């Protein structure tokens, strides 16, 4: 056999190895998700519906989700995407969009104040453009 054929067979073997490995990983993740899906947990569906899992029928592949008090929706069990858990919030991280906008506006105002203070000098700094004709004649 020539070296090119051996190299191609080796690459094919590596691809098949990774294909089986990824398949096993995906199955393990699905099994872990199924173990977490017990009645009473908050879940999210593939289409973004949040609710509390009421029942899960594996024989019919159906799940009942309570999305509001007394409102129960029946969905296919494969649409359950994940179990919703509370994520730990970092210190200083904004908790809402409004808070993030407040922080961004305050930082922008601080930057403007700093640039206004630095542009009070008459001579332009490196990289700045000058509008006065006197600066051009002095060069």
Tens of each residue's pLDDT in the chain, 139 residues: 799 999 999 999 999 999 999 999 999 988 888 888 889 899 999 998 999 999 988 889 899 999 999 899 999 988 888 888 877 556 667 778 888 889 899 999 998 888 776 665 566 667 777 666 654 555 5
Q: What is the pTM of this model?
A: 0.48
Structure token digits, residue 19: 């294909």
Q: How high is the pLDDT of residue 89? A: 58
93: left (phi over 0), alpha (psi -120 to 50) or beta: beta
Q: How high is the pLDDT of residue 105? A: 93
* 106: enclosing H helix or E strand: helix 97-118
Angstrom distance (rounded) from CA 28 to CA 61: 19
Q: How high is the pLDDT of residue 121? A: 57
């Amino acid at each position: 056999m020539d070296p090119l054929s051996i190299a191609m067979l080796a690459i094919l073997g590596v691809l098949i190895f990774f294909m089986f490995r990824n398949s096993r990983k995906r199955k393990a993740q699905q099994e872990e998700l199924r173990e977490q899906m017990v009645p009473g947990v908050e879940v999210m569906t593939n289409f973004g519906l949040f609710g509390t899992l009421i029942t899960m029928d594996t024989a019919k592949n159906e799940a009942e989700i309570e999305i509001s008090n007394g409102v129960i929706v029946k969905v296919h069990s494969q649409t359950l995407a994940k179990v919703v858990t509370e994520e730990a919030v970092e210190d200083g991280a904004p908790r809402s969009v409004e808070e993030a906008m407040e922080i961004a506006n305050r930082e922008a105002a601080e930057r403007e104040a700093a640039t206004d203070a630095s542009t009070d000098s008459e001579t332009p700094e490196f990289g700045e453009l000058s509008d006065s004709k006197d600066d051009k004649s002095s060069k």
